[in-house]
């Protein structure tokens, strides 16, 4: 026990002496300007990590990351045209193809205005270019204008480039005369193909066909046209008629007969909303 106490005391005295020597060396260095002898460095170990400059470490976005990007919108490409449309209650859509024709389109617009209803006009670009005033009137009176190609060709016999040209030129004419680009497209003769669906979608248009064909282009007689419309009437029905492409006198007269009858039967004649699914 006594031996342990003496050993501990010697260690304390040795430590005190070392501190005193270090203090003395510091004083001597201050007086003489001489650098005191430093104890030898300990054995080499792992190299010390070099301190980084304040600006050397910053949060940087990783390549390919950062704020989420908006996914590119890919248009929905259908494989068949819409035949009916959704709407409230007993809604129906009246459509007229191949115009505008100054001989018949104004009379159709007059009848629609008389009953305060709106319809759709699928126009051909070459006709629209010659009669922009009729497209302007359609816009003023709330009718929808769709794309029916430039020259009414059979699309299934055209190259992809020709189909695009037929559609795109007509879109441009409609936008200039009507004020907006069309969002609906109808293939002439109802002849659709894959290119027509794809290109129409790329140009922002939905394909719309019809449910009831009046066959007015065969000039079957006014009464026959009226019967086809009234017998085919149902919610969501799309009726096909013409305001150009031949003698459309029967089409004009038939509209005057069946339109008030449809309204009296509780049908709501309107233009469709664009369907996104």
Is 47 contained in some domain? no
Is 128 contained in some domain? yes
SS3 assignment, position 56: coil
Q: Do 146 and 185 meet the contact criterion of CB atoms below 8 Å apart?
A: yes
Is 75 contained in some domain? no
- Please identify every stretch of the chain with a pLDDT value under 70, giving residue numbers as ranges: 1-73, 274-277
Is 51 contained in some domain? no
Q: For residue 204, what are its two tokens?
A: 């922002």
Domain of residue 188, residue span: 91-269
Tell me the average pLDDT of the chain. 81
**Model-wide pTM > 0.75:** no
d(CA 128, CA 107): 17
Is 180 contained in some domain? yes
**Which residues have C-beta within 8 Å of that of residue 250, sequence separation ≥ 6?**
216, 219, 220, 221, 222, 225
Domain count, the chain: 1
In the beta sheet, which residues pair with residue 235?
none
d(CA 42, CA 25): 21
Residue 69, pLDDT score: 40
Residue 9, pLDDT score: 44
User: In this structure, what CATH number is given to the domain that contains residue 130?
Assistant: 3.20.20.370
**Residues designated as active site:** 97, 242
Is 64 contained in some domain? no
Q: Do 177 and 136 meet the contact criterion of CB atoms below 8 Å apart?
A: yes
Is 168 contained in some domain? yes
Residue 32, pLDDT score: 38
Q: Give me the residue label for tokens 């002496």.
A: 17
Residue 73, pLDDT score: 65
pLDDT in tens, 111-120: 999 999 999 9
Is 11 contained in some domain? no
């Amino acid at each position: 026990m006594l031996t342990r106490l003496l050993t501990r005391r010697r260690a304390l005295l040795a430590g005190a002496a070392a501190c005193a020597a270090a203090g003395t060396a510091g004083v001597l260095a201050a007086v003489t300007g001489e650098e005191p002898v430093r104890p030898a460095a300990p054995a080499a170990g792992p190299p010390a990590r070099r301190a980084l400059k304040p600006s050397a470490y910053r949060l940087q976005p990783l390549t390919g990351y950062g704020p989420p990007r908006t996914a590119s919108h890919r248009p929905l490409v259908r494989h068949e045209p819409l035949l009916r449309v959704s709407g409230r209650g007993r809604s129906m859509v009246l459509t007229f193809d191949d115009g505008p024709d100054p001989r018949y389109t104004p009379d159709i617009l007059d009848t629609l205005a008389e009953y305060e209803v709106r319809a759709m006009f699928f126009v051909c670009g070459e006709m629209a270019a010659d009669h922009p005033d009729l497209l302007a009137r359609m816009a003023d009176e709330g009718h929808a204008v769709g794309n029916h190609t430039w020259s009414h060709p059979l699309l299934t016999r055209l190259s992809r480039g020709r189909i695009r040209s037929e559609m795109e030129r007509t879109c441009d004419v409609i936008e200039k005369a009507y004020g907006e680009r069309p969002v609906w497209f109808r293939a002439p003769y109802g002849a659709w193909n894959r290119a027509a669906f794809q290109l129409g979608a790329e140009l922002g248009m939905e394909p719309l066909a019809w449910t009831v064909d009046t066959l007015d282009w065969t000039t079957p007689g006014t009464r026959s046209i009226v019967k086809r419309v009234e017998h085919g009437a149902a919610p969501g029905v799309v009726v096909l008629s013409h305001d150009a492409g031949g003698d459309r006198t029967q089409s004009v007269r038939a509209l005057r007969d069946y339109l008030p009858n449809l309204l009296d039967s509780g049908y709501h004649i309107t233009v469709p909303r664009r369907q996104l699914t």
